[in-house]
Chains A and B, each alone.
Chain A
Amino acid sequence: MNPAPPSPVSIHRPAAFALAAAVMLVPANVLPIVDTRLAGDARSDTIWSGVVELHESGLWPLALVVFLASFAIPVFKLVGLGCLLVAVKRRASAIRRPRALTRLYAVLDEIGRWSMLDVFLVAFLAGVVRFGEPAMVVPRVGIAAFAAAVVFTILATRAFDPRLLWRDQQPAAARPFDA
């Protein structure tokens, strides 16, 4: 009943997706994600300047949420995936700390979706703030690049097979789990 063992090729696919995500993060962070016009005052925001602006206007809990979703999570995901891929690639024999790495994978698998926060935020604001000249929110191309980066990180975690971490480990004896 054991599923088919993972093939050695299966680390190429997550690596390719992770690389694509890393590439897309560059335009996502350099290009503006949203233009805001408010009573004649026009400004163009990148991901980072949006976080800074929230912080400066005193909404620091919000700034923290957006910072985590748009900055910390994508970077943490890419670094974590890198660690997993290196661990699998490097060791010919059994991997040393498979439990910790499996937990890391479970965390990466869980948090990735929250990066979509900024995309939904821009989409919703653009749908609401459409007063024409006095107040307008216009999505810019950076948000599309960011969405693509998020999709690629999710595809990368999906493509990674955590059973690779357990390739050469002994099956555990049938005993109750302790600590």
Chain B
Amino acid sequence: MIVGTGPSRAGRRPETTFSARTLAFIRMQPPLHPVLTCRFCGQVHRAIPLAGGEVARCVRCAAHIASASRWGGKHAPASFALAGIAFAVPAALLPFITVEKFGNMRTGDFLAGVFALDQHGMPLLAVWVLICGGLTPLLLLTGLALGWRNPASLRWMGGAFGDWAMPDVYVLAVFVALTRLGSIVDVELNAGFWSYTAMSFALLLAWRTHRLQSNASA
């Protein structure tokens, strides 16, 4: 090979430096230990496996960053999530409560509340209640049921939507409504409400067991 000294080759970089590609490859190597970053203060910890029932706290801000479940294996979150999805069907279809007044019977369910808001000129609020009480819990349940192989995308989903799933708040609201109605009309709780409550608990358990696992193995 003939090495010229013309101006076109003068600017060539010496061959001994790493190419940009090599550097990127070196940076992408995983660290020696799995790393766990505190979500409150950013302190970096070396992650170690926890024994069942153990809790890990941040060494700097004392926030609870991981704990190991006493029960439930790898498939616990998906199992709870599937149970939650199964309960969601009757929760959406069956009446929550039956009220009787002046010989009139009327049932109320989750969607009736949403439609009532829409009818009274608050479509945005209706959509919001539907999202917080119905759609987001279902989305999280579906994600937990399907996505147990991919903890990173589940963690993203939890961060993006976790705050907006409020079935437990809705359950408490129905209890308050029930007590309030009980003083003026005859009220009876129906299967739809119990299904909804079960769905809410299943989501809680699925999310909790998932979080314990994903933190401990991060």
List A residues at the B interface (Cβ < 8 Å): 1-3, 5, 38, 54, 57, 59, 62, 65-66, 98-99, 102-103, 105-106, 112-114, 116-121, 123-131, 134-135, 138-139, 141, 143-144, 147, 151, 154, 158, 162-163, 165-166, 169, 171-177
Stretch at the interface among B103-111, B147-155, B208-216: B103-111
B113 touches A162 (CB 8 A): no
Within 8 Å CB of A147, what residues of B?
125, 128
Contact A162 B40 (CB under 8 A): yes
Contacts of A171 in B (CB 8 A): 43-44, 60
Q: In the assembly, what is the distance between CA of A165 and CA of B60, in Å?
A: 12
| Chain A residues closer than 8 Å to B114, beta-carbon distance | 123, 127
A65-B176, A139-B122, A147-B128 known; A130-B42 Cβ under 8 A: no
Asked whether, in the complex, the Cβ of B43 is within 8 Å of the Cβ of A166, the reply is yes
Query: What residues of A have a CB within 8 angstroms of the CB of B62 in the complex?
Result: 99, 102-103, 177
| Stretch from B3-11, B15-23, B75-83, B94-102 at the A interface | B94-102
In the complex, B120 has a CB within 8 A of chain A: yes
Q: Are B99 and A129 in contact (CB under 8 A)?
A: yes
- Chain B contact residues (Cβ within 8 angstroms of A): what range? 35 or more
Q: Interface on B for A, CB 8 Å cutoff?
A: 31, 35, 37, 39-46, 57-63, 96-97, 99, 101-102, 104, 106-117, 120, 122, 124-126, 128-129, 132-133, 163-164, 166, 169-170, 172-174, 176-177, 179-181, 183-185
C-alpha spacing A94/B97, complex, angstroms: 55
Cβ of A2: which chain B residues have Cβ within 8 Å of it?
Answer: 37, 42, 44
Residue among B39, B42, B107 with max Cβ neighbours from chain A (10 Å): B42
Q: How far is the CA of A92 from the CA of B13 in the complex (A)?
A: 45
Of B101, B113, B122, B169, the residue contacting A114 (CB under 8 A) is B169
Chain A proximity of B24: nearest CB distance (Å):
16
Query: Distance in Å from the Cβ of B128 to the closest Cβ of chain A?
Result: 6
Contacts of A169 in B (CB 8 A): 41, 60
- Picked from B110, B120, B129, B184, the residue with its CB within 8 Å of the CB of A119 is B129
Subset of 8 A-B contacts with CB under 8 Å: A66-B176, A113-B163, A117-B169, A130-B106, A166-B42, A166-B43, A172-B59, A174-B45
Q: Once the chains bind, are B59 and A65 in contact (CB under 8 Å)? A: no
Residues in A with CB closer than 8 Å to B41 are: 98, 102, 162-163, 165-166, 169
Taking a contact as CB atoms under 8 Å apart, the answer to whether A125 and B181 are in contact is yes
In the complex, the answer to whether B122 meets A62 with C-beta atoms within 8 Å is no
Report whether over half of chain B's contact residues are helix, strand or loop; otherwise say mixed. Answer: mixed
Which of B43, B101, B110, B113 contacts A126, CB < 8 Å? B113
Chain A residues with Cβ below 8 Å from B122 are 139, 141, 143-144
Question: Which residue of A has the minimal Cβ distance to B108?
Answer: A128
Asked if B183 and A59 sit within 8 Å, CB to CB, the answer is yes
Pair B177/A124 contact, Cβ less than 8 Å: yes
Task: Contact check, A125 vs B177: say whether CB atoms are below 8 A apart.
Answer: yes
CB distance from A124 to the nearest CB of B (A): 5
Pick the 6 closest A-B CB pairs, nearest first. Answer: A128-B108, A127-B113, A127-B112, A120-B173, A172-B60, A166-B41
| A57, A124, A154 — most chain B CB neighbours (10 Å) | A124
A174 to B33 CA separation, bound complex (whole angstroms): 14
User: How many angstroms between the C-alpha atoms of A172 and B166 in the bound complex?
Assistant: 36
Q: Are B102 and A131 in contact (CB under 8 A)?
A: yes
Contact of A54 among B126, B164, B169, B180 (CB under 8 A): B180
